[in-house]
Chain A
Amino acid sequence: MRRLASGTLAIHACAAIVLLFLILPVLVIVPMSFSSARFLTFPPPDVSLRWYRAYFGSPAWLQATRVSLIVATSAAVAAGLLGTAAAYALSHLRSRLARAAELVLMLPIVTPIIIVAVGLFMVYAKLGLLASLPGLILANAMLGVPLVVTTVSAGLRKFDKTQEMVARSLGMNRFRAFLSVTAPQIRPSIITGVLFAFVSALDETVVALFIAGGDNQTLTKRMFEALRDEIDPTIASISSLLTAVSLLLVLLGALSRRKATVTLD
C-alpha cells in the first residue's frame, strides 16, 4: 500500500513539472512586455510602459488589429451559423452520404494549413479576392466550420431529441421548436464552438501570409514578419494583450458551461 502511495506521489510530481513547462512560457511574456530594455532580456532591467506606448502609437499595428478583429468576429459568426445548421442536420441524417458529408466538413482541420493557404491563394488570385477583407473572412469562416460542427455535435448527442418532437407535436414548427427547445440547451456548445472559431481566426497566421496584403494585413501576419526579420519588443506587448484576450474567452466559455449546468440542476 505504501508503495502505491509513493508511486502516485512520483506521478503527481512529474505532472507538476510538466504543468510548469506548459504554463511558464505563456506567462513569461507579460513581464517581458513591461521591460524598459531595447533588446529582449529576462528578467527585465526596469519596468516601463514603453512597448505598450509603441503599440498604441503605431497606426500600422492598430490597423492590423482592426483587420484581425473584424475578420475573427465575422468569421466566427459565419462559422457559428453554418456549423450549427450543419451539425443539427447531421444529427438527424443517418445515410452513408451524410457520413461522407461529415468527413468533408472535417477536411479543413485535417489538411495541413500550408496546403490550405496555397490552395486559397490560387483560387483568390483568379477571383480577385487577394488582400481583401471578404477573402480573409471567408477563409477563416471555412476554417472555423469544423470547430463549430464538432462542439455542437457533441452537445446535440447529449440532448434528448424527443423534447423537440414533443414541442412539434404540440403545434410548433421545426424552426420554432429548435429555437425555443433545442437551442437553449445546446447553447453552451454553440458558444464554445464560436469562441473557438474566433480564437483560431485571431491566431491564424499561415493563410494570412499568403492572402492578406495592402491595407488588409492581419495582426499575426505582421507579427510573424516582424519576428522573422528582427525581434521587436512591441510584439511582447501585443502578445500579452492577445494572451489576455484568450484567457478572458476561456473564462467566458467555462462560465457559460457552468451556468448551463446550474440551470439544468
Chain B
Amino acid sequence: MIAPLAKAQTSLRDSGRSEELLFWLLLAPALLMVAALLLAPLTWLALQSVWENGFTLENYRRLVVEPLYARSFALTFRLSLEMSAVTLLLGYPVAYAAAHLSSRWRVLVLGLVVVPFWTSVLVRSYAWLVLLQRTGVVNKMLQALGLTNAPVMLVNNEIGVTIAMAHILLPFMVLPLFAAMEKIPEELIRAAASLGGGPLYTFRRVYLPLSMPGVIAGSVLVFVLSLGFYVTPELLGGGRTLLVSMLISRNIQLYDHWGAASAISVALLACVLAILALARTLAPSAWSAEDR
C-alpha cells in the first residue's frame, strides 16, 4: 500500500525536477545573452575603474574633487528632479481625464499619449530643435503676442533641454498614473462627497492618497530615465548642459580616458540601482500595481 504511493511520489518529484530543469533551459538563452552583452561589460567597467597598472581609487577621487564632475552630477540630479516634478504636474490632469472619461474619450486621450510614446526620441528631439530655434514657431508666436521684441534663446541651453525632455518623458508619467487611478473605486469618491467632503477635501484626503502608487511609480521612472538621458541633451543643449551621460561619452570619444569614463559609469549605475531599490522597499505597493 505504502510502496506504490511512495513510488508515485518520487516519480512526481522527479518529473517536477525535470520540469524545473526544462524551465531553466528555456530561460538560459535570454539570460546568457544579457550576461554576455551586459553583465560582463559592466563587470569589466567596474574593474577598469579601479585598475590602472595596479589598484587605484584615483578615478573615484577625481569624481569627488574635480569641480567639473561634481557640477555635472549636481546638474543631472537637479534636472531629473525637475523632470519628475514637471511631468507629474502636467501628467496628473491627463491621467485623471483618461481614468474618468467615457470609454470613447478615454481611447482618444490614451491614443494621444501613446502615439508620441511610440515615436522616435530622435525625431521628437529634432522637432523641438526646429520649433525652438531663433526663427522657429515658438519664437514667432512669442513675438506676435508681444511678449518679446527680439528672438529668445530657447535652444543650445538648458531651457530647450528641459522642454524637449519633459515632452519625451511625459508618457512615462501618465501611463503609471492612469494605471493607479483606474483602480480607484468611484463609490469611494462619491461616499466621501455624500459625507460632506468638499471637492478639494475629497481630492486631498481620498483621491490623492489612493493615486499615490502611480505618483511614486511615475516619478521614480521619470527620475531614473532622466539620469541617463543622452540624445536630447546632446542635440538641444549646445554643449552647455553637460549631463553625466555626456561626461561619459566625452571622456571616451574626446579624451580617450577610459578609467574616468568607467568610474563615472559605475557611479551613475549605482545611483540608478540604489534609487530603484529604495523605491521598491519604501513603496512596494507602487510596484505590485504593475506586477498584478
Contact = CB atoms under 8 A, between A and B. Distances in A.
Number of chain B interface residues as a range: 35 or more
Contacts of B136: 42
Contact of A7 (B20, B29, B199): B199
B276 interface: yes
A239 B235 contact: no
Of the listed residues B39, B91, B100, B124, the one surrounded by the most CB atoms of chain A closer than 10 A to its CB is: B124
A8 B123 CA distance: 34
B27 A119 contact: no
Given A120-B37, A142-B33, A111 B42 contact: yes
A235 B126 contact: yes
A236 B155 CA distance: 18
B26 A22 contact: no
Of the listed residues B114, B120, B249, the one surrounded by the most CB atoms of chain A closer than 10 A to its CB is: B120
B123 A29 contact: yes
Given A86-B27, A112-B268, A25 B128 contact: yes
B9 interface: no
B97 A15 contact: yes
A243 interface: yes
Of the listed residues B126, B128, B245, B276, the one surrounded by the most CB atoms of chain A closer than 10 A to its CB is: B126
B120 A22 contact: no
A75 to B, nearest CB: 11
A88 B24 CA distance: 10
Nearest to A228: B235
Contact of B273 (A15, A23, A110): A110
B35 interface: yes
A243 B130 CA distance: 16
A121 B45 CA distance: 11
B94 interface: yes
Interface in A88-142: 88-90, 92-93, 98, 101, 104-105, 107-108, 110-116, 118-123, 138-139, 141-142
Contacts of A114: 228, 230, 245, 248-249, 265
A188 interface: no
Nearest to A138: B37
Given A26-B115, A89-B27, A138 B269 contact: no
Contacts of B119: 26, 242-243, 246-247
Interface in B221-252: 224, 227-228, 230-231, 234-235, 245, 248-249, 252
Nearest to A16: B97
B15 to A, nearest CB: 11
A108 B34 contact: yes
A232 B99 CA distance: 41
**Chain B contact residues, majority secondary structure:** helix
Contacts of A18: 90-91, 93-94, 170
A56 B193 CA distance: 61
A19 interface: yes
A206 B45 contact: no
B159 interface: no
Of the listed residues B100, B114, B123, B130, the one surrounded by the most CB atoms of chain A closer than 10 A to its CB is: B123
A122 to B, nearest CB: 6
A239 B90 contact: no
Given A26-B124, A250-B114, A231 B27 contact: no
Interface string A35-55: 000001110000000000000
Contacts, number: 233
B178 to A, nearest CB: 11
A245 B92 CA distance: 29
Given A23-B116, A42-B130, A101 B272 contact: no
B37 A112 contact: no
Nearest to B236: A227
A76 interface: no
A177 interface: no
Contact of B227 (A11, A14, A112, A239): A112
B38 A93 contact: no
Interface string B106-142: 0001011111101111111111111101011100000
A202 interface: yes
B201 to A, nearest CB: 11
Contacts of B175: none
Interface string B269-292: 100110010000000000000001
Interface of A: 3-4, 7-8, 11-12, 14-15, 18-19, 21-23, 25-26, 28-29, 32, 40-42, 82-83, 85-86, 88-90, 92-93, 98, 101, 104-105, 107-108, 110-116, 118-123, 138-139, 141-142, 145, 149, 157, 174, 199, 202-203, 205-206, 220, 223-224, 227-228, 231, 235-236, 239, 242-243, 246-247, 249-250
11 contacts: A22-B113, A28-B137, A32-B130, A42-B136, A86-B29, A86-B30, A110-B273, A114-B245, A202-B120, A243-B119, A246-B115
| Nearest 9 Cβ contacts at the A-B interface | A112-B228, A119-B41, A15-B97, A86-B30, A89-B23, A89-B26, A14-B93, A82-B30, A239-B123
